[in-house]
Amino acid sequence: MGDLERFIPSPRLMQIDRIDVGAPLARTWEYVRRYDFASSPVVRALFWLRTAPDRALRHATAPNAMRIDDMTGEGQGFRRLAERAGESIAVGAIGKVWQPGIEFADVAPSDFAAFDEADWVKVAWELRCVPRGELVTRIVFELRVSATNAEAWRRFQNYFAIVGPFSHFIRRHLLQRVRRELGSPRQAEKHAHLAGDDLIPDAAAEMTDGVTIQARPDAIWPWLVQMGCRRAGWYSIDALDNAGARSADTVNAQLQQLRVGDVIPATPQGDSGFEVLVLDRPRAFVLGGLYDGKRDGQLRFFDARPDDFWHVTWAFELEPVDTRTTRLHVRVRVALGPHRVSEPGRLAAARVIHHIMEVAQLRHLKSRVERHEEAQRAS
């Protein structure tokens, strides 16, 4: 919750736009707090058109910069109402915005909420940044509008019927520009360091996926450690990776006692599987394997590599987003013997197959966990 509720507690109009960017809170806030809205040619052109009558009346020139400090400086109609360092800023004005040359009331922030003189409109907006884990930040732009009487509101509605679509377009346009500059959450996820990355420093291929689950990490963890053939299944496409047996829909207490070094069966039959490499409850669960291509057998993960090998880690890392939400990051890293590296077609096919299976796994895991959590809350 931001500060706008203190200044316009009962808005007649409220619009909220938001976007997630792949940058930490501190970097995101510093960027948007100093962002120059006029750096966008589109915004600059629209602002120039809207302010043309006012500039003509006042014999003024269009501003070269449109940072928040520029828009709330001396002689500007808007002023800063409140600011939380590193988190949010609220800006507002009381004016007759429908006039070609906007008339503003000179009202201190402390008197903004109580101002009730007839024929004025109160406009306030807030820009705030909310952390969504360590590497992702949500940028929220909230607009609130109220009026001191019915006539002012009628005039504003007529004005906003024309200006409103452009206003909303500008907000979405600017948020998209910021995300292009800071990067998307998906880009941040792909480049983040995850548990298990250091176990295969010479990986020839890396594939990263993720899913956001409405549950805490400790509620998701039991579903991860019970995975495996002849266990709870892989929650993926059971016909392909679990001999057609349906993956578990519940948590099995008897499958929770794993130790580092244990091998989880990868197939319905045979001894090969995934070795447990990291078991850091409820944060990181890393599986892996070293496989001998000539002998078609599995070695211990830290054994010397044979001439023909593939070396794999499969990491699951749980990152809290907020008190009720978790981002599950999943990454596979693979190192290959020289002979297998020279077969790019097989590697490309394996990437496609893995992606299909991984997406299915994450979708089904999310569904199971959230359904179980909902049932727990209802009981």
Q: Residue 295 — pLDDT band, cuts 50, 70, 90?
A: confident
Assess whether 172 and 295 both reside in one domain.
Answer: no
* pLDDT tens per residue, range 330-339: 999 999 998 7
Assess whether 85 and 15 both reside in one domain.
Answer: yes
| AA letter at 200 | I
Assess whether 216 and 236 both reside in one domain.
Answer: yes
Given 184, 214, 244, which residue is the final one in a domain?
184
pLDDT at 345: 74
Assess whether 206 and 324 both reside in one domain.
Answer: yes
pLDDT at 59: 47
Say yes or no to pLDDT of 12 above 60: yes
Share of the chain above pLDDT 90, in %: 76
263-265/273-280 β-pairing: antiparallel
Given 184, 211, 242, which residue is the final one in a domain?
184
3-state secondary structure at position 51: helix
Q: Which helix (H) or strand (E) element contains residue 263?
A: strand 263-265
Given 184, 208, 235, which residue is the final one in a domain?
184
Assess whether 225 and 92 both reside in one domain.
Answer: no
CATH number, residue 208: 3.30.530.20
Gap between the Cα atoms of 92 and 7, Å rounded: 9
Q: Residue 75 — pLDDT band, cuts 50, 70, 90?
A: confident
Assess whether 172 and 229 both reside in one domain.
Answer: no
**Is residue 357 a contact partner of residue 365, using CB atoms and an 8 Å limit?**
no
CATH number, residue 167: 3.30.530
| AA letter at 81 | L
pLDDT at 142: 97
* pLDDT tens per residue, range 257-284: 999 999 999 988 888 899 999 999 999 9
Write down the H helix ranges in the chain.
Answer: 4-7, 25-33, 41-58, 68-71, 150-182, 185-191, 217-225, 238-241, 338-341, 344-378
Residue 93 per-residue DSSP state: E
Assess whether 146 and 10 both reside in one domain.
Answer: yes
Assess whether 50 and 135 both reside in one domain.
Answer: yes
Going from the C-alpha of 80 to that of each of 75, 95, 139, the distances in angstroms are 13, 15, 18
pLDDT at 252: 97
pLDDT at 101: 80
Assess whether 107 and 199 both reside in one domain.
Answer: no
29: domain range?
A: 4-184
Whole-prediction pTM:
0.83
| Dihedral, 162, 168, 174, 178 alpha carbons, nearest 10 | 180
Q: What is the mean pLDDT of residues 123-147?
A: 96
Residues β-bridged to residue 274: 264
* pLDDT tens per residue, range 32-71: 999 998 887 776 666 655 555 554 555 455 556 778 998 8
Gap between the Cα atoms of 379 and 368, Å rounded: 17
**Is residue 67 a contact partner of residue 61, using CB atoms and an 8 Å limit?**
no
Total number of domains constituting the chain: 2
Assess whether 205 and 167 both reside in one domain.
Answer: no
